[in-house]
Amino acid sequence: MNAESTGKTSQTTPTTQSTVSETNRSRVLHYLYTHGISSRASIAHALGLSAAAITKITARLIDAGIIHEVGGIEGRKNRRSIGLELDPEQFHFIGVKFARSLVEIGVFDLKGATSSLTDLPTVKNDTIPETIHSIHETISTLLDSNPSIVAIGMAVPGPYLRHEGRTAVVSSMQGWRTFNFLNEFSDAFRVPVFVEQDARAGVLAQYLFDPASNNCDNLAYYLLGEGVGLGVIDDGRLVNGAQGAAAEIGHVSIDVNGLPCDCGNRGCLERYCSAVAIHERLAGTGIVPDMGGMTHKQACHALFEQAAHGNHAAQELVHDIGRYVGYGCVTIFNTFNPERIVLGDIVAEGGQPLLEAAREVVDERVIPELNKATTICLSKLPTDAAVIGAAAVAVTQFLDHPSRFFAIT
């Protein structure tokens, strides 16, 4: 799929021989990424390029150390051929997830396999500087210990203003609003850094790493974490908007006279089904005993455990939260008409009961033809989609723009 650069500037690049060459290199890498070991003849046939062109392109990728030849394989028409491989374990990527009070750092290979995963101490408004220092130290240590790391991706709360490098609104954690991710991290390390809104990072993770969603060209990832967000791939392209603030479903009002939100609106979806909102609703209910000191994530996990063990009040609350999630699904149906909606992050761990409650609302409120043609499911990624999605942002850049990472002559 095509994703635009997440750097400080964005401009239309005139078509030149160098851009055509880069596009063809990218097409070859995407093909090998998707299909595994392949012959030159198979690649040429699939991409509609001549054998001579593929020979030239792959020779340069081999010289750059990006792909390599493997032993004879069965090629087209049952002929023995030399295979080419983009080894998924050869290159590694750091993913950093920022989620208000949570920062998680992981190392992943090209296919999303996890090498390491680290949770930093819980962040508060007055500890953001210490957290930033810890991020620098942790990443520098990882880079020093692993020379195969070639890029860093960061997933940050939305609405993320991609050209400015900051988040416009961070409900319940306003300290992040003045922080500029690009100024802080763009030139801080030996490898390039790419920053993306967390839900868009999540949809890239689903697209690249989830077999059920691989290459689904109309895909939505519905992030239900400390905030609520949406990442959309529409007809194979990531939906961004003019400033990078498109698809901010968490700040779509579901009640014009509802609860006030830090964004200035009222009745925003994330005031009803985010981990922060759930934690607030739990306070004083007695559903989760001894809530003192719990993080938002821990409070949600405790609620879901109580529901799973038969606590009727907990089950009712999960069902109510699931219906709010369903109202968001209705908006996704009517706004983007995706083929697949994937629920992920902290609140999605409410599991099947939460999903069924969301589907109740969809069945009540969505045009039947759209409902029938769309799948709603829980994320099956083994790692949190936002942190693995941060790595997916970097992987996408690696596949789309290999000359940014290697000298290709």
Give the three-state DSSP class for 313.
helix
Nearest Cα neighbor of 219 from 235, 198, 199 is: 235
Report CA-CA distances (Å) from 354 to 226, 227, 276: 17, 17, 17
**85: exposed, middle or buried (C-beta count within 10 Å: 0-12, 13-18, 19+)?**
middle
Alpha carbon 231 to chain centroid, angstroms: 8
From the list 206, 192, 46, 222, the residue with the least C-alpha distance to 112 is 206
CA 336 to chain centre: 18
| d(C-alpha 233, C-alpha 235), whole Å | 7
Backbone region of residue 25 per phi and psi (left: phi > 0; alpha: psi in -120 to 50; beta: other values): alpha
Residues β-bridged to residue 149: 92
DSSP assignment letter at 174: G
Q: What is the DSSP letter of 295?
A: -
What's the rounded Cα separation, in Å, for the pair 354 and 315?
9
Q: What is the pLDDT along the chain (409 residues), one digit of tens a residue?
A: 544 434 433 344 456 878 899 999 999 999 999 999 999 999 999 999 999 999 999 999 999 999 999 987 775 566 678 899 999 999 999 999 998 788 999 999 999 999 999 999 989 888 999 999 999 999 999 999 999 999 999 999 878 898 899 888 776 677 788 889 999 999 999 999 999 999 999 999 999 999 888 879 999 999 999 999 999 999 999 999 998 889 999 999 999 999 999 889 999 999 999 999 999 999 989 999 888 889 999 999 999 999 999 999 999 999 999 999 999 999 999 999 999 999 999 999 999 999 999 999 999 999 999 999 999 999 998 767 789 999 999 999 999 999 999 988 7
- Residue positions counted in the chain: 409
Output the six-digit token pair for 166: 């900051």
Contact 157, 229 (CB under 8 A): yes
Which residues, 6+ apart, have CB-to-CB distance to 163 below 8 Å?
Answer: 8, 9, 10, 243, 244
Strand order in the sheet with 149-156: 114-119, 102-109, 92-99, 149-156, 193-197
The model carries a pTM of: 0.89
**How many angstroms separate the CA atoms of 316 and 322, rounded?**
10
Strand, helix or coil for residue 150: strand
For residues 142 and 117, give the distance between their C-alpha atoms in angstroms, rounded to a whole number. 11
Whether residue 204 contacts residue 218, with contact meaning beta carbons closer than 8 Å, is answered with no
Q: What is the rounded distance in angstroms from the CA atom of residue 352 to the CA atom of residue 366?
A: 20
Nearest to 1 by CA among 341, 395, 408, 333: 395
CA–chain centroid gap for 47, Å, is 27
CA separation, residue 320 to residues 221, 285, 297, 346, 357 (Å): 21, 15, 18, 16, 7
